[in-house]
């Protein structure tokens, strides 16, 4: 199956697994792969836009490699297990620095991670430093292991609650928005605001302070939001560091005010210790739901456009974008 790359990347981000810490449930699968196949290296690899990132990585010390060097980038081009018996003589890989230099890959076998929508996100793979032959039975076993990884990922994707932060999940939030857009859960006269926000420079936090600290930031940001929001409001984690807030029975002016309160509350957070502390800020986009939108897509698009403008104008600010506006309003900045 040919797959649209932008759709594939969108679905990959829906799983909210990129840049998360190692977890025992995935490490058990790669350890089983190493044991069954007597291979020194086993990985759960996800192919992002410009990198290959490892959710589990046994036998290597790196957490990611450039996508142009990734064997798994070849794996996601088909549904079947990819086997390269000797990478030193294969046209696709013989000049690859991962073959000619450390870790000196010779043998590779990867089973694609296939979503229910039939998109291939990455692979479960094994690597050896000597040439090998891979039987049909071994291919079947590796494919079953990739299925176990997808089972775990799909369970999390379907969950109503984000496993890390306790916020609503992307799927449950989109279902709620769809009900509201169809008018099933509110009178047509009511007003509902939508706020999209994400944490500024979050990748730099992960890179500099580690993923455990990044997780601490995500949890603290959700807690900070709840200290500002009402019980009827909903905050959802809709991406790695991306969040959306639903504010029922809320006017435009109130929505903008609440967004700025959230911005200031997050900016008050500090992390680390006296020797090494760092601030956290977030950028916000605000819009209103409208029945004339014909669904949630246009509502989310407006919120995202406002958010992107807030980021392009310097971050740590709020931008509003109302339906039929030619351009977003001026930002509320620190």
Radius of gyration of the chain (CA): 22
Same-domain pairing of 182 and 67: no
Report the CATH number at residue 153: 3.30.450.40
Does some domain include residue 296? yes
Q: Are 284 and 307 in contact (CB under 8 A)?
A: yes
Same-domain pairing of 206 and 146: no
Alpha helices by DSSP H, the chain: 5-14, 24-37, 72-75, 97-100, 136-158, 170-181, 202-209, 211-228, 252-267, 297-312
pLDDT in tens, 189-212: 468 899 999 999 998 998 888 888
Residue 190's pLDDT is what? Answer: 67
Does residue 56 have a cis bond before it (omega within 30 degrees)? no
Residue 274's pLDDT is what? Answer: 64
Number of domains in the chain: 2
Same-domain pairing of 247 and 99: no
Does some domain include residue 165? no
pLDDT in tens, 73-129: 999 999 999 999 999 999 999 999 999 999 999 999 999 999 998 999 999 999 999
Residue 328's pLDDT is what? Answer: 47
Catalytic option among 5, 23, 64, 241: 241
Q: Are 329 and 319 in contact (CB under 8 A)?
A: yes
Look up 64 and say whether it is catalytic.
no
Q: What are the backbone dihedrals phi and psi of residue 52, each rounded to the nearest 5 degrees, phi first?
A: -110, 120
pLDDT in tens, 206-231: 888 888 889 999 999 999 999 999 98
- 292 Cβ partners below 8 Å, 6+ apart? 323
Report the CATH number at residue 226: 3.30.70.270
In which domain, by residue range, is 227 found?
Answer: 170-333
- 167 Cβ partners below 8 Å, 6+ apart? 161, 222, 235, 236, 237, 243
Same-domain pairing of 152 and 300: no
Q: Are 138 and 37 in contact (CB under 8 A)?
A: yes
Same-domain pairing of 226 and 272: yes
Upper half-sphere CA count for residue 92 (Cβ side, 13 Å): 18
């Amino acid at each position: 199956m040919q797959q649209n790359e932008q759709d594939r990347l969108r679905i990959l981000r829906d799983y909210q697994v990129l840049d998360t810490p190692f977890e025992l449930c995935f490490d058990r699968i790669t350890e089983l792969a190493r044991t069954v196949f007597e291979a020194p290296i086993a990985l759960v690899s996800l192919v992002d836009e410009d990198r290959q990132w490892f959710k589990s990585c046994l036998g290597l010390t790196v957490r990611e490699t450039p996508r142009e060097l990734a064997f798994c980038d070849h794996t996601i081009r088909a549904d079947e297990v990819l086997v390269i018996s000797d990478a030193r003589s294969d046209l696709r890989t013989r000049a690859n620095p991962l073959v000619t230099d450390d870790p000196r890959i010779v043998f590779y076998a990867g089973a694609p991670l296939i979503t229910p929508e039939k998109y291939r996100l990455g692979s479960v793979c094994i690597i050896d430093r000597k040439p090998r032959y891979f039987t049909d039975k071994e291919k079947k076993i590796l494919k079953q292991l990739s299925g176990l990884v997808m089972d775990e990922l799909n369970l999390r994707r379907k969950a109503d609650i984000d496993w890390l932060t306790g916020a609503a999940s992307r799927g449950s939030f989109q279902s709620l928005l769809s009900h509201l857009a169809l008018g099933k859960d509110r009178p047509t006269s009511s007003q509902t605001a939508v706020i999209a926000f994400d944490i500024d420079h979050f990748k730099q936090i992960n890179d500099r302070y580690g993923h455990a600290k990044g997780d601490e930031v995500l949890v603290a940001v959700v807690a900070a939001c709840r200290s500002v929001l009402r019980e009827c409001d909903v905050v959802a984690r809709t991406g790695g560091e991306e969040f959306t807030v639903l504010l029922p029975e809320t006017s435009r002016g109130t929505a903008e005010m609440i967004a700025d309160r959230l911005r200031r509350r997050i900016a008050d957070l500090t992390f680390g210790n006296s020797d090494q502390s760092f601030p956290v800020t977030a950028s916000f986009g605000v819009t209103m739901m409208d029945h004339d939108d014909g669904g949630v897509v246009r509502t989310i698009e407006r919120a995202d456009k406002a958010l992107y403008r807030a980021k392009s104008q310097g971050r740590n600010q709020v931008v509003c974008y109302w339906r039929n506006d030619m351009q977003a309003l001026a930002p509320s900045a620190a």
